[in-house]
A and B are shown apart, each in its own frame.
Chain A
Amino acid sequence: MLGTTLLLAGCPSPWPRPSPPSSPGPIPPAQPPSAPVPAPSVPPAPPRPQAAPRENHLSPATRSLVTQAHRLLAHGDIDGASSTLDRALRIEPSNPLLWIELGRVRLTEGDAHQAEVCARKALALASGDHAAQAQAARVLADALRAQGRNPEAQEVESRAYLP
């Protein structure tokens, strides 16, 4: 399971992913003639600083605020829910789970574009956390579909963050 997770993890982005450049790069006039890279070929020596896989959680404080936001939303108080999530985000601004929640509120509100941005932000912050990425991708796909961008939505889904 973990294996597929890793293979499939990746970030759909609105920008074409740059093809990995090889250095020395092709361009600037300043560049030395691209001599073939000397002997020690792939992979180079150094131990690379590795980003460890991560798992995001809500703290008790933010969890209680999310619960409160859900309650407000259930009563149709979208402004209240949104302010409460803002409050949680001030405590944990980089928690993708909170951005996912905010994306859902924006969807409920009918603001699909903001929902899309929240979901993209969640995806970026969830790097290395498959479960959070899958949730963010689901919100992203919904937000794209709500804007009539079905092919993009399908593309996000086909990246199969979703189990």
Chain B
Amino acid sequence: MPAVARSRVRRWRYFFILSGLSGILLAAIAAIWVVHLDRVVTREFQGRLWSVPARVYAAPLELYAGAPISANDLEQQLQALHYRRADAASGPGTYRRTGNAFDLQARRVRFIDEQRDAQRVSIHADNASITSMRLADGGDLPVFRLDPPVIGSLFPIHGEDRLIVAPAEVPALLREGIKLIEDRRFDEHRGVDLYGVLRASWANLRAGHVVQGGSTLTQQLVKNYFLSDEQTFGRKATEAVMAMRLEAHYSKQDILVAYLNEVYLGQDGARAIHGFGLGSEYYFAKPLGELGPAELALLIGLVKGPSFYDPRKHPERALARRNLVLKEFGDVRLIDTAVARREAATALGLRPPGGSYVPAYLDLVRRDLKRNYAEADLAAAGLSVYTSLDLRAQASAERALTKNLLRLDLKSTVRGQHLEGAVIVVEPSSGDVVAVVGGREVDTSGFDRALDARRPIGSLVKPAVYLTALETGRYTAATLIEDAPIELKLADGSVWAPQNFERQVYGQVPLARALAESMNLATVRLGLDLGLPKVAATLERLGLESAPTLNPSLLLGTVEMSPLEVVQVYTTLADGGFRTRLRAVRAVLNEHGEPLKSFKVQVEAAAPPAAVYQLDRMLMLVPTHGTARGAAARLPPGLVIAGKTGTSSDTRDSWFAGFTGNYLSVVWVGYDDNRDTGLTGAQGALPVWADTMASLKPVSFDPIVPDSVEDRWIGFDDGLETNPTCSADAVVIGVPKDTRLPVNPKCASPPSPHVTAGDKIKEWLKSIVH
């Protein structure tokens, strides 16, 4: 063999050995890489698959004889809870209605304090309230609650909200439809679809640009989970390997359900809408299971380009896309072609503003969780968060705000700028927050004005001044004070000369009138006499969390507070001086139904009940004789309410804070950029407040008279004791028992003999006995 040939053979041999070795090395590296990706993919997927978000519930509706729930209300509630009306009650989740009688098969439900089994009950109602209830077997049933409605899901730690859908909850049309549109060979391929890639490449080649993506659902899922959006070869390869590893470990069903829960479907302000569960709620305000073919087709069509096909911003594009999807459904007989045509003729049917989608309330829930629970506890899977949200109150507040802001915008001279507003409704005695509206666009979770907009509260501060006065014992509601000009030299050398809103001066007025008509001069004089630190201390006792600056203008409400902070302060006034910490979250249960440890609801005695009663009596005059007289026209006749208007300087902020016997609400109206609204508290916030309350079945505010206090009549203008038959302007005030009030000489009855307390009791006893 010639040397040349030998050396050539040797060279070949080296070449083969070398390439063999490097091949083995490459294979080893590739294997390590695949094993690594495999690990990443399974760990993450396992985590996601089992990271079940906390489910958030609204308050359950309590039924009992006398509860103000009419037969029609009840049926509406049952339908909102997806109870099905059936001719004969047939299994849990159904009911039968005959006239005003209901035969209800309630589902098995977990409540904060009990697991209740499925139960059959009969309920009678009339057109105002529940009249009687029994168990179906005839047993007593004094009180019964409906299922708590689900209002959302969230991961308590990072606050993301999802509405995770379980495999059984995926409608068949969604399952088949998404495969049809996004990945026809999903059931056959093993993560990567070579045929799909070839088909897509061919189509792209013919079109000269990218018209089709060859990604499988699995690849899309992997991309969503792990990878950035860049289109490099390396990323594509990683994606393909991960997709194949995922397919090797998990069933097609797991992967499809994970995809449906993960896919991006749109943007709501700062918040991404992921998953069909949330998408369904966000676009249609319905659970996924209740969507029809057209609605499912819209969501499926959105996957291709959520912002390009955004049905709110580009309704024509969205409609065309939806109808294309419907046509494909018909072509492959997923649905009848006739149905496809009929559905294509329907409107988009997007959710009107409102409904059960409550981002502002969920903000408060997140805040409560963070404040009252240990982070480690919240990391557990499958938590249930029980809140105080009352969906009916929420809807009322949203309606009242939207309607009134539209009306006020029409009257406003400001163009190109919309008024904004916020409403909070609470039950003062429990501190339960039942509704939160963070802005007029009630369906976006952008800036939450109810929680985060801190604005000067104007005259809402005045009750704190008057309460401080009553607490000293030196003043009663009848005490005369001077409403006269006042000038103050401030620390910085400037002179402060406040004025009344109407630029008038009223002279000698009783406390009750000065507060009802919100007189600035009288209030400043009173507040200075009491001392700023005392007034500030009262505000803090009532619930203000940060100490206000001790500037005389504090007395006219330059202090800035959020609507939520105002609610906290007024709740103490509405509840006889007891301060209850506001709360949205009543309890959190773990997956075994055990409550997580939380900070307990704290009630504190913050102000003496006797002084608070006297103040409340004065606040009841605001709507009858003072600045809130406009409320009556929007409220049920005869309803007694108490409250206070507030207007900040240059009418930038319009406020009303007030309460009935069952609810307290605070409303703010203004512009986001702080410009002049031209609206007083009575013109802007009060109508929103009154409309909200009017639809909440309000009962009259009827505070309990403390033992040490009694009610008396005085003239609203002069503060002299009188009686309603004698003076047209007679009003009721509360005063410490046996207070000597100067009497209106024209209204005095002939002097009666001096009576002792003992005589009075004897007299009273006689009147009882006989």
Interfacial residues, chain A to chain B (CB-CB below 8 A):
2-3, 6-7, 9-11, 13-15, 17-32, 37-51, 59-65, 72, 79-80, 83-84, 86-87, 89-91, 93-94, 111, 114, 117-118, 120-121, 124-125, 127-128
Contacts and interface: CB of A to CB of B under 8 A. Distances in A.
B141 to A, nearest CB: 9
Interface stretch (B285-293, B348-356, B474-482): B474-482
Contacts of B749: 40, 45-46
B696 interface: no
B64 A59 contact: yes
B633 interface: no
B741 A23 contact: yes
Main secondary structure of the interface of A (DSSP, over half): loop
B552 interface: no
Nearest to A26: B474
Nearest to A126: B704
Given A18-B472, A29-B482, A64-B143, A59 B745 contact: no
B481 A38 contact: no
A37 to B, nearest CB: 5
B127 to A, nearest CB: 21
B199 to A, nearest CB: 60
A45 B721 contact: yes
B66 A86 contact: no
B124 to A, nearest CB: 15
Contacts of A41: 751
B86 interface: no
Contacts of B609: 11, 13, 124
B752 interface: yes
B142 A21 contact: no
B754 to A, nearest CB: 6
A48 B711 contact: yes
Contact of B587 (A72, A83, A125): A83
24 contacts: A11-B706, A15-B471, A17-B736, A21-B739, A22-B739, A23-B480, A23-B741, A25-B474, A31-B479, A40-B745, A42-B754, A45-B747, A45-B748, A46-B721, A46-B730, A47-B723, A48-B710, A49-B713, A64-B143, A80-B113, A91-B64, A93-B662, A128-B704, A128-B705
Given A7-B761, A28-B526, A30-B508, A49 B142 contact: no
Contact of A51 (B710, B752, B762): B710
B381 interface: no
A40 B114 contact: no
B313 interface: no
A61 B143 contact: yes
Interface of B: 62, 64-67, 112-114, 140, 142-143, 427, 429-430, 432, 471-476, 478-484, 508, 522, 525-526, 529, 576-578, 586-587, 595, 600, 602-605, 608-611, 662, 704-708, 710-713, 719, 721-723, 726, 730, 732, 735-743, 745, 747-749, 751-752, 754-755, 761-762, 764-765, 768
A42 B604 CA distance: 39
Top-3 shortest CB links A-B: A30-B482, A18-B473, A46-B723
B704 A30 contact: no
B479 A24 contact: yes
A40 B482 contact: no
A3 B739 CA distance: 23
Nearest to A85: B113
Contact of B712 (A49, A60, A128): A49
A80 B723 CA distance: 51
A20 B743 contact: no
Contact of B739 (A2, A14, A23, A29): A23
A23 B479 contact: yes
B473 A87 contact: no
Nearest to B64: A61
B143 A44 contact: no
Contacts of A125: 576, 704
A48 B705 CA distance: 13
Given A20-B738, A30-B482, A40 B751 contact: yes
Nearest to B614: A18
A15 B508 contact: no
A143 to B, nearest CB: 12
B740 A86 contact: no
Contact of A31 (B481, B578, B736, B761): B481
A14 to B, nearest CB: 6
A42 B740 contact: yes
Contacts of B586: 83, 86
